[in-house]
Amino acid sequence: MATIAHRLTVDEYERIGDLLDDPRVELIEGYLLAKMPKSPEHSWTTEAVREALKGRLPPGWTWRKEVPVRIPAYDEPEPDIAIVRGSDDDYKHRHPEPADVALLVEVSHTTLSIDRGIKCSTYAREGIPIYWMVNLVDRQVEVYTGPSPGGYASRQDFKPGQQVPVVIADQPLTPIAVDDIVP
């Protein structure tokens, strides 16, 4: 007998969320993907990125850590860091959607192929303007820009000793040293 997989919509996923009650999964392309345990390096890097970005944000923007971004119809990823329009109060009754997002950050070690593959494609297809992948394997920050349905037009890698440009809503801000966010 053939196995039939059911692709969940974001609405279905949110309806069963209370029943599911499992923080170890996220919805990507309509399927539940297991989230990997976080190593000390992953946790340290996520906090370092959050701390570096929060002091640079222009008025009207806030950060969110490891909480959902609703990408209708089949995705509700939980990026390590999301820079979104507005304040925390704007998200009391809803999750941010692509139009709210200026920057998504994934810290990647054991999930390198997923973060560079399916997540990167999803973020580009949905118009997320800038996607950073902090690649702990190669000790670099990969910055993806120019989203389109076919993927990001540009990828630029920043290594230790270099500065990562920070751009929020087309506004260049103070860059971040790779050495400050990659252990």
Q: For residue range 75-88, list pLDDT tens digits in order.
A: 788 999 999 999 99
In a domain? residue 128: yes
For 126-181, write each residue's pLDDT tens digit.
Answer: 999 999 999 999 999 999 999 999 999 999 999 999 999 999 999 999 999 999 99
**38 pLDDT band (50/70/90 cuts)?**
confident
Query: What is the number of structural domains in the chain?
Result: 1
112 located within any domain:
yes
% of the chain beyond a pLDDT of 90? 72
Evaluate whether residue 28 is within a structural domain: no
Give residue 95's pLDDT: 93
Residue 169 lies in a domain: yes
CATH code at 143? 3.90.1570.10
32 is a domain residue: no
pLDDT tens readout for residues 93-122: 999 999 999 999 999 998 899 999 999 999
For residue 161, is it within any domain? yes
Residue 4 lies in a domain: no
State which residues form the domain around 120: 38-181
- For residue 19, being part of any structural domain is answered with no
Q: Mapped to the 3 state alphabet, what secondary structure does the chain carry?
A: CCCCCCCCCHHHHHHHHHHHCCCCEEEECCEEEECCCCCHHHHHHHHHHHHHHHCCCCCCEEEEECCCCCECCCEECCCCEEEEECCHHHHCCCCCCHHHEEEEEEEECCCHHHHHCHHHHHHHHCCCCEEEEEECCCCEEEEEEEEECCEEEEEEEECCCCEEEEEECCEEEEEEEHHHHCC
Full-model pTM = 0.86
